[in-house]
């Protein structure tokens, strides 16, 4: 997809002014926060689990090349074909070649963020393939021509009524007078439509939450079971996964699974966690005839060599966005690319470059909630700060921001001047605000004051009060 991260301020302003988006965002992220809190409270050792998860991810990344080779060897011995792609276009070409060799016409997909990142659907469709997303949220937004607004709840920005209207518009083969006024009726309709696609598909494409070197398996985690159908019914199964997804052993994968669902939805396990290892075996009555795994770099090896390595620990649970006040206010689309929220503010500049994405690290109050909940303890705040500094070094801030920070530096580093200005400002502010004791409008701060008031200063600065008293204690 074409990124629009450079227009973040406009995107965010539009999101804030959209009442339907507000209505949708009012419920779900907050609900996920409460569910996570309950799930974490139920496991007294959760902090130790987070620490273990962080350590597993760090140790794996330290020796990633060996684990990737071990995974490849084992996966091949279990009958999978392993492909390597340096970038998005190579990955798309590999998948297209597999589809062509299989004479495929219909491709059904499980949820995969990396396929969004590499623009896989558009690439396959341009070559004449029909591509159907099967995760319900992904299906809804695919039909709308939108991108996911959340990594685990892609249609979080839509209400029930939005979906009902869409289904009436797309499923024109169904009776026009059918009732679609409950979530149950909407789910049932999508199930029937998509079941036909599953049964007819030639190729199933899924992502992977983890790749297990010990067994050569991919692991997918879903609640709907759509990924399972996608990797069981079609003749050909293709896994697309970035190189950072590898985990050395099944036991370590289990520790990561213990923190993943709890952090994501507050479930201790999602309905389906599935290990897929190679194609159908002799004697098997179902399963794909071919199993392909496409290992994609697309910027990960550069991140590994950079000071953004910690971000590669991410297991894509979405907790950081659920807990982010900025995400909760503007939703995911404003971030302008595939990964929203705090992890998006770190990943997107890493993958697309800071020039086009310099606003994203500013999409944070630095409250630190994201770090406190991240199951693999990624220091999201300091990584965002690093990007802010880099944007500054490259002089990518807007001119008012640059002018203000220059002004600030030149006063804050001259104590005498600073005190003088502070005294003047506080005296004027105190005189003007004396009657009401607060300001509800000020030049240059109309937006900020639209929803709050600023208490008026009392007329003297702290420094003055300090001097007039004996070190703060009245004489």
Partner 1 sequence: MSRDAILTRVRAAGAMTPKRATPPLAAPPSLTTSGDAAIARFRTMAAAKGITIIDAPARDAVPQAIASILSSTEIETRQIRLNDPAMTKFDWRASSLSIELGAAEPQDVMALSTARAAVAETGTLLLASGAENPATLALLPETHAIVIDAMNIVGTFEDALTILRTHYGESLPRAVNLISGASRTGDIGGRIVHGAHGPHRLIVIIVANEIRAPQPAP
* Largest separation between any pair of C-alpha atoms in the chain: 94
3-class secondary-structure state, position 397: coil
Residues 315-344 that bind partner 1 (CB under 8 A): none
Rounded Cα distance between 275 and 233, Å, is: 15
Cβ(326)–Cβ(363) below 8 Å:
yes
Rounded Cα distance between 40 and 261, Å, is: 11
Token pair for 283: 């004697």
- Partner from partner 1, ligand SF4, none binding residue 131, C-beta < 5-8 Å depending on class: none
Q: Which is nearer to partner 1, 93 or 467 (CB)?
A: 93
Does position 403 interact with partner 1 (CB under 8 A)? The reply is no
* Binding range to partner 1, per CB under 8 A, among 228-236, 355-363, 382-390, 432-440: 228-236
Q: Which is nearer to partner 1, 273 or 364 (CB)?
A: 273
Find the helix or strand (DSSP H, E) in which 357 lies: helix 354-357
Does position 270 interact with partner 1 (CB under 8 A)? The reply is yes
Residues 278-317 that bind ligand SF4 (CB under 6 A): 314-317
- Partner from ligand SF4, partner 1, none binding residue 93, C-beta < 5-8 Å depending on class: none
Rounded Cα distance between 429 and 435, Å, is: 11
**For residue 138, what are the contacts with CB-CB under 8 A and spacing of at least 6?**
109, 111, 148, 154, 155
Cβ(232)–Cβ(134) below 8 Å:
no
Bridge partners, 470 (sequence order) = 473
User: Which one of residues 183, 353, 415, 437 is an interface residue with partner 1 (CB under 8 A)?
Assistant: 183
Cβ(326)–Cβ(376) below 8 Å:
no
* Binding range to ligand SF4, per CB under 6 A, among 88-96, 267-275, 375-383, 389-397: 375-383
Rounded Cα distance between 189 and 346, Å, is: 38
Does position 318 interact with ligand SF4 (CB under 6 A)? The reply is yes
Q: Which is nearer to ligand SF4, 75 or 261 (CB)?
A: 261
Residues 5-44: x/- map of binding to partner 1 (CB under 8 A)?
-------------------x--xx--x-----------xx
The count of chain residues that interact with partner 1, using the rule CB under 8 A, is: 98
Does position 279 interact with partner 1 (CB under 8 A)? The reply is yes
Rounded Cα distance between 392 and 386, Å, is: 10
Rounded Cα distance between 194 and 205, Å, is: 15
Closest CA to 1 of 134, 145, 112, 130: 145
- Partner from ligand SF4, partner 1, none binding residue 294, C-beta < 5-8 Å depending on class: none
Cβ(101)–Cβ(327) below 8 Å:
no
Does position 170 interact with partner 1 (CB under 8 A)? The reply is no
Token pair for 455: 């208490």
Cβ(2)–Cβ(148) below 8 Å:
no
Q: Which is nearer to partner 1, 88 or 456 (CB)?
A: 88
* Binding range to partner 1, per CB under 8 A, among 155-163, 316-324, 394-402, 457-465: 155-163
User: Which one of residues 132, 239, 352, 374 is an interface residue with ligand SF4 (CB under 6 A)?
Assistant: 374
Does position 181 interact with partner 1 (CB under 8 A)? The reply is no
Does position 344 interact with ligand SF4 (CB under 6 A)? The reply is no
User: Which one of residues 92, 155, 201, 338 is an interface residue with partner 1 (CB under 8 A)?
Assistant: 155
Q: Minimal distance in Å, beta carbon 378 to ligand SF4? A: 5
Cβ(68)–Cβ(246) below 8 Å:
yes
Closest CA to 373 of 305, 327, 304, 306: 327
Strands (E), 67-150: 81-85, 106-109, 130-133
Q: Which is nearer to ligand SF4, 263 or 291 (CB)?
A: 263
Find the helix or strand (DSSP H, E) in which 430 lies: helix 415-433
Token pair for 39: 């799930």
Q: Which is nearer to ligand SF4, 163 or 373 (CB)?
A: 373
- Partner from partner 1, ligand SF4, none binding residue 317, C-beta < 5-8 Å depending on class: ligand SF4
User: Which one of residues 178, 191, 402, 406 is an interface residue with partner 1 (CB under 8 A)?
Assistant: 191
User: Which one of residues 10, 16, 63, 420 is an interface residue with partner 1 (CB under 8 A)?
Assistant: 63
User: Which one of residues 226, 263, 322, 357 is an interface residue with partner 1 (CB under 8 A)?
Assistant: 226
Does position 259 interact with ligand SF4 (CB under 6 A)? The reply is no
Cβ(205)–Cβ(211) below 8 Å:
no
Residues 219-258: x/- map of binding to ligand SF4 (CB under 6 A)?
----------------------------------------
Does position 207 interact with ligand SF4 (CB under 6 A)? The reply is no
Q: Minimal distance in Å, beta carbon 447 to ligand SF4? A: 29
Q: Which is nearer to ligand SF4, 212 or 308 (CB)?
A: 308
User: Which one of residues 5, 115, 121, 134 is an interface residue with partner 1 (CB under 8 A)?
Assistant: 134
Phi first, then psi: give them for residue 68, nearest 5 degrees.
Answer: -65, -45
Cβ(5)–Cβ(335) below 8 Å:
yes
Residues 261-280 that bind ligand SF4 (CB under 6 A): 263
Q: Which residues bind ligand SF4 (CB under 6 A)?
A: 263, 314-320, 343, 373-376, 378
């Amino acid at each position: 997809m074409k990124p629009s991260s450079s227009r973040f301020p406009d995107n965010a302003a539009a999101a804030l002014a959209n009442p339907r988006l507000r209505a949708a965002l009012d419920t779900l992220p907050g609900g996920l926060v409460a569910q996570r809190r309950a799930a974490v409270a139920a496991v007294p050792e959760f902090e130790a689990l987070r620490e273990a998860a962080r350590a597993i991810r760090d140790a794996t990344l330290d020796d990633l090349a060996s684990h990737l080779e071990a995974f490849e060897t084992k996966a091949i011995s279990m009958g999978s074909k392993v492909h390597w792609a340096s970038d998005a276009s190579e990955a798309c070409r590999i998948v297209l070649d597999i589809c062509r060799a299989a004479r495929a016409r219909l491709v059904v997909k499980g949820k995969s963020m990396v396929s969004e990142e590499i623009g896989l659907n558009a690439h396959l469709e341009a070559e004449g393939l029909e591509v159907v997303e099967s995760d319900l949220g992904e299906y809804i937004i695919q039909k709308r021509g939108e991108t996911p607004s959340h990594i685990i709840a892609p249609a979080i920005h839509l209400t029930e009524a939005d979906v009902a209207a869409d289904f009436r518009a797309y499923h024109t083969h169904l009776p026009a007078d059918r009732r679609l006024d409950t979530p149950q009726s909407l789910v049932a309709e999508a199930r029937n439509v998509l079941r036909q696609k599953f049964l007819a598909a030639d190729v199933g494409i899924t992502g992977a939450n983890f790749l297990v070197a010990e067994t050569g398996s991919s692991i997918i985690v879903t609640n709907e079971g759509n990924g399972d159908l996608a990797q069981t019914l079609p003749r050909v199964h293709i896994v697309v996964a970035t190189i950072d997804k590898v985990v050395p052993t099944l036991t370590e994968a289990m520790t990561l699974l213990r923190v993943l669902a709890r952090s994501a939805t507050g479930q201790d396990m999602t309905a389906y966690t599935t290990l897929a290892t190679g194609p159908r075996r002799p004697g098997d009555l179902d399963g794909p005839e071919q199993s392909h795994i496409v290992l994609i770099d697309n910027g990960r090896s550069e991140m590994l060599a950079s000071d953004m390595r910690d971000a590669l620990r991410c297991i894509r649970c979405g907790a950081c966005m659920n807990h982010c006040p900025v995400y909760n206010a503007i939703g995911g689309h404003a971030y302008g690319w595939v990964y929203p929220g705090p992890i998006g503010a770190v990943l997107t500049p890493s993958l697309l470059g800071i020039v086009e994405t310099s606003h994203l690290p500013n999409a944070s109050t630095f409250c630190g909630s994201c770090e406190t909940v991240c199951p693999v303890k990624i220091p999201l705040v300091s990584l965002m700060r690093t990007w802010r500094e880099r944007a500054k070094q490259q002089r990518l801030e807007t001119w008012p921001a640059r002018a203000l920070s220059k002004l600030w530096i030149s006063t804050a580093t001259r104590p005498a001047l600073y005190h003088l200005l502070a005294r003047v400002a506080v005296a004027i502010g105190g005189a003007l605000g004396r009657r009401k004791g607060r300001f509800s409008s000020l030049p240059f701060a109309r937006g900020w004051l639209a929803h709050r008031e600023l208490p008026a200063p009392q007329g003297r600065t702290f420094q003055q009060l300090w001097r007039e008293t004996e070190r703060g204690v009245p004489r």
